[in-house]
Structure 1
Amino acid sequence: MKKKLQLFISVTLLMFLLAACGTTNGQNTEPDQTTADSEKEIENVEDEETTENGAQDEETNQPENKIEYTSKGEVYTHETAVVEEENYTIQILEGYELTKEEPGKEVLFLQDNDAISMRIEVFPKNASSYDHLVKSTEEWMAAINEYKPLDITEAVNKHPEITNSVAFITTIENDEVVGIVYEKNNILVRLSVFDQKDYDLKDALIKMGLTIEEK
């Protein structure tokens, strides 16, 4: 009987010890789980911040499809739409339309008055030369009227890919004609701008013409 009592006491003590150990282990486990959850939350926050920063960087790196131009002494900034042609793209302001005149020549015109327009010619460098286009443009300008150089340096400087450029302007009563030739990467571009003084949209047309990119 005494032995049974001792055995009962021993088993009871052992159960208390095991229960105590279990409680201690349980208490130790909870902080570990909490720490793991905290670390996971920190990782999630970091991932979200990385994603947001990445999205912000991507937005920053994307070119703005906007054009700033001057008309009648006022400065305007408007969004543009990218239009694709066979061998190039161009940014166009709302209210203008691009149409094909003949193979290798397109015309961009004001929808409210198609006399306000710009003929676009884009050549691969192996099909012509910068000097040849400048010479033929000057001959064409001279056939219209007396002409003079037009400074488009400020507009061209916004397009570092343009390596050579020249512009001329002539006036006949209310009409203004501008001839531009420029070299950009692997293409040569000639722009023939037709404007009227009471509209004064040549700067808008030129700014659109300088956005041409080869495909």
Structure 2
Amino acid sequence: MKSIQKMFVVSASLALLLSACGTTEQSTEKTNSGTEQVEKDTPQTEEKTVETSTEAPEKPETTETTEPKSEEGTKEEAKEEQPSVDGKERLLEQNLTYEENGKAVEKTGFLKMSDNQHYSMYVLDGYTLDEEEPGKDIVMSSEDQKAFMRIEIVPSDMDLKDVESVVKTTAEAISANAQKYEGFKQEGILKDAVWYKAQTEEDAVNLILIKGSTPMKLSIYTSKDQENIEPFLAMAQTIEVK
């Protein structure tokens, strides 16, 4: 009888022990499951935190300010705007003085450039400078299209004696009565110049070879009854080769 009681006690103890173990395992599983869930959620939170913390903050927009130009800088820009000849700057305007109907006249000339023959000159208001053909330019009066001056810069490799011969031949081709003219003041660009005059029924033609530092041929055409060449000569005085 005692043996049966002992077995009953042992069985009951084992049952209680197994029940306790099952409860412990369930608690452990629940605990582990909760821990795993927390571990799964934790990395996501950390990733978001990292992404937020490493993102560069937006820089505020800044307004660029232009520094005021110095007086020297302004002068330099003004110089660059002015055309130059052989490195020498020329003013954009210059007063030209010449005789007209026996009286001294002063008018403003405006600096113009010839890309055709690479020179600059001052052209009076009421006149235009245009390319006629390679090696030849025309300064023409806006009021009288019969009044114009042809400009031909003499190449440096040409003999001036040959050029003078061409000027004479051209004058004689215009008129058989063409004559060499010597009644002019040999000063300025006209010093040592060679000048021929020729006339047609309507026109007066003055052919001039300038021999100075810038040799050139000038052919000035005007109406026969209005032979006013002084404005053209005043403009030709200002020619400077680049």
TM-score, scaled relative to structure 2: 0.55
Contact conserved, 2:199 with 2:224, CA < 8 A, in 1? no
- Give the structure with the higher percent strand: 1
Q: CA deviation at 1:191?
A: 0.6
Aligned position for 1:96 = 127
Aligned position for 2:107 = 78
Aligned position for 2:206 = 178
Q: CA deviation at 1:163?
A: 6.1
Aligned position for 2:181 = 150
Find 2:163's aligned residue among 133, 138, 145. 133
Aligned position for 1:3 = none
Confirm whether residue 65 of structure 1 aligns to residue 94 of structure 2.
yes
Confirm whether residue 188 of structure 1 aligns to residue 218 of structure 2.
no
Aligned position for 2:79 = none
- Name the CA shift for 1:144/1:195 in 2 (closer, same or farther; >3 Å): same
Q: CA deviation at 1:214?
A: 1.0
Aligned position for 1:210 = 237
Looking at structure 2, the residues matched to 194 and 181 of structure 1 have their Cα atoms a distance apart, in angstroms, of: 15
Amino acid paired to 1:176: A
Q: CA deviation at 1:71?
A: 3.1
Amino acid paired to 1:213: E
Looking at structure 1, the residues matched to 201 and 169 of structure 2 have their Cα atoms a distance apart, in angstroms, of: 20
Aligned position for 1:199 = 226
Contact conserved, 1:117 with 1:194, CA < 8 A, in 2? yes
Aligned position for 2:196 = 168
- Give the structure with the higher percent helix: 1
Q: Please provide the CA RMSD for this pair.
A: 2.4
TM-score, scaled relative to structure 1: 0.61
Aligned position for 2:155 = 124
- Name the CA shift for 1:206/1:104 in 2 (closer, same or farther; >3 Å): same
Q: Per-residue displacement from partner, 1:143-180 (whole Å, max 9, x unpaired)?
A: 111122334753x5234xx7641111122244210001
Q: CA deviation at 1:120?
A: 0.7
- Name the CA shift for 1:149/1:77 in 2 (closer, same or farther; >3 Å): farther
Q: Structure 1 vs Structure 2: percent identity of aligned residues?
A: 23
Query: Structure 1: where are the runs of 5+ without partners?
Result: 1-61
Query: Structure 2: where are the runs of 5+ without partners?
Result: 1-89
Q: Per-residue displacement from partner, 1:5-44 (whole Å, max 9, x unpaired)?
A: xxxxxxxxxxxxxxxxxxxxxxxxxxxxxxxxxxxxxxxx
1:65 alignment partner, SS class: strand
Q: How many residues align?
A: 149
1:1-40 to 2 correspondences below 5 Å: none
Q: CA deviation at 1:137?
A: 0.8
2:226 alignment partner, SS class: coil
- Name the CA shift for 1:149/1:165 in 2 (closer, same or farther; >3 Å): same
